[in-house]
Structure 1
Amino acid sequence: MGLCRRYARSRPEAEDMFQEGFIRIFQQLHTIEQPDRLLPWMKRVMVNTAINIYHKNHRLQAETDYEAAQDIGTDDHLETLARLSADELVVLVQDLPDGYRMVFNLHVVDGFNHPEIAQMLGISEGTSKSQLARARAALKEKLKKLGIVRYEHS
């Protein structure tokens, strides 16, 4: 459910994702040959379900200029994430525009690279990079409003 909450705009949407994902999991459970691969497979099914729902319900944001977004910081998001509780982060991420939220979750949280994200979402690599940079900038702005303005290693 945590994974679905990160990808959804609201709790009801996350609940719908969760239910649809588990229906798919139970329908295909018999195809698992290696029991030790069950959890990674389930995660992948849930991510794919979130992407499918995204495609079904939302239009992707227009392509943006990657070069214009390159100037936004790239590494300090890790320190920022370490200072927030999981619930606070979920709320901040849920408030991002749809395209930003999807790319942020896929790249930062789930570890997919830009070519993989581009293929999954049907966008260019440049758009994936740009949306990630803009998501980071939007999160920094939200953090600034919460009074978090410095990002240091503990």
Structure 2
Amino acid sequence: MVVLLLPPVSAYAVEPDEILPDPVLEARARDISKKLRCVVCQNQDIDSSNAGVARDLRLMVRERLIEGDNDKEVLDFIRARYGDFVLLNPPFQPKTAVLWLTPAAFAVVVLLAGAIILVRHRSKPCADVLSAEEEAEVREFVKAQQAGNRT
């Protein structure tokens, strides 16, 4: 029963030797780590990534905090070395516009494609109309089937 109360092993990748003795600094390090993207895993923060680069970044965050940097200075320090991509929530700037606008542009393209397909589908004639001979043949077939089912 106690096992169910424990967090999953992969939830935190911070190694025991990385944890700072000061709980306030450690809490700040964890908060900053959750704002930074693992450049290997790409959609995972460095706090929960087991990648070597993530460990290096976690250690770098802790070193900067020990040196007295505030949270913004630590993020700026890492951002200066890795670029905006390392931030899980990059700022909207001309150079990051593609990151922000691509999902919206993709949605617009999909909606337009869907609309075009629907319009083309509706404008097509349903089916070829039967000739008078074919309609007579179908009527005879139906009558023969109905007569066969009654017996």
TM-score, scaled to structure 1 = 0.29
Q: Which has the higher contact order (CA 8 A, sep 6+)?
A: 1
Going by fraction, where is helix more abundant, 1 or 2?
Answer: 1
TM-score, scaled to structure 2 = 0.29
Which has the greater radius of gyration?
A: 2
